Amino acid sequence: MGLNIVVLVKPVPDPKEPPRFKPDGTLDRLAMKLALNPYDKYAVEAALQLKEAVGGTILGVSMAPPHALDALREALAMGVDEFVLLADKRLAGSDTLATSYALSMVVRKVWSNLGKLDLVLCGVESSDSNTAHIGPQIAEWLGIPGVSYVDKILEVSAEAVKVKKIIEGGSMTLLVKTPAVLSIAGTTYVPRIPTLRDVLSARRKSVTTWNIDEVGIDPARVGLLGSPTRVVRMWAAEVKRKGKVISDQDPDRLVDEFLEELRKDGISLR
C-alpha cells in the first residue's frame, strides 16, 4: 500500500537572526534570512516515517515568494520527493484565511493530478505567527476530516488513519477516515538532519512553480484584497531588566537586606 502524502511547509524568518521591520511596522522578509518553519519539520519527519513503513510518495507544498526556495529545499534534503511552490505577487498580505484557501486549491490540483490523496500533513503552527489556523482551515476548505495537535500517527490503511492527539491533561486516540489533514505537534517526531549528500541531491529534485492563475485561485480571495484581517504593525519586544547588587561581609545581614529588597519590590515570601 503506497501512500500519497502532501506536506505543507513554510519559510519563516531565521530564528537565529534578529527580526527586521519595514517603516510601516511589518516584517521585512526580503531583508531577512529565511529558514524552514521548525514545526513543519515534525510533519516532514512523520511523512518520511510513514513512507519508510508502507511506501508511497511525499509531495511538498508551500506558498512563498521565489527567493524562499533555498530555505524550502531543506524539506527536499530531508527526503521529500517533489515540491510545488505557489508564488505570485498577488498573494502578498494574505491572512490565514486567504492563505489556507490558496493552499487548499493547490492541494486540490495536486490531488487531481495524483488521482489519490491519503494525507495532508503540516506543522501545528508557524514560528512567525503561531496562529495554528492553517491545518484546520484547509481541512474545512477541502471538506475532509482534520485533527490538530497530533502527537503520533499510530496506524494507517487505505481507508483510515489512527492517531494519538494531545488534549489538555492527557491524550486521546482517534480513528479518522482518509483523506485527512493532520497538524503534527513537536512531541514525538525528531526531525532527521540531512547529510551533505542529501543537500546536494535536493538540488536535483523536481520543483514546480505555479501562479494563482495556473491553480485556478480567485485573485479577489487572496492578498490584501481577500483578507478580512491584515497585520497593522509588528515590533520586537523590549526587555527591560533592572538589577541590584547587595554586598555585606555578614551573611545574616546580607540575607536580611536581600529579603528587605524583595519586600520593597512587592514580592511576598511565605
Q: Hey, how many other C-beta atoms are within 10 angstroms of the C-beta on 1? A: 10
Average pLDDT, the chain: 91
Rounded to an integer, what distance in angstroms lies between the CA atom of residue 113 and that of residue 237? 45
> Is residue 19 within 8 Å of 32, Cβ to Cβ?
yes
- The whole-angstrom separation of Cα 159 and Cα 3 is 11
62-85: per-residue pLDDT in tens?
Answer: 999 999 999 999 999 999 999 999
Q: Which residue has the higher pLDDT, 28 or 87?
A: 87
Q: Round to whole Å and give the CA distance between 267 and 264.
A: 7
Q: What one-letter code names the amino acid at 87?
A: A
- Calpha distance 20→32 (Å, rounded): 7
Question: Which of the listed ranges 28-32, 122-126, 224-228 does the model predict with the highest average pLDDT?
Answer: 122-126
CATH class of 3-226: alpha beta
pLDDT of residue 87: 97
Distance in angstroms (rounded) separating the CA atoms of residues 33 and 31: 7
User: What is the mean pLDDT of the segment spanning 258-268?
Assistant: 82
**Domain locations in the chain?**
3-226, 240-270
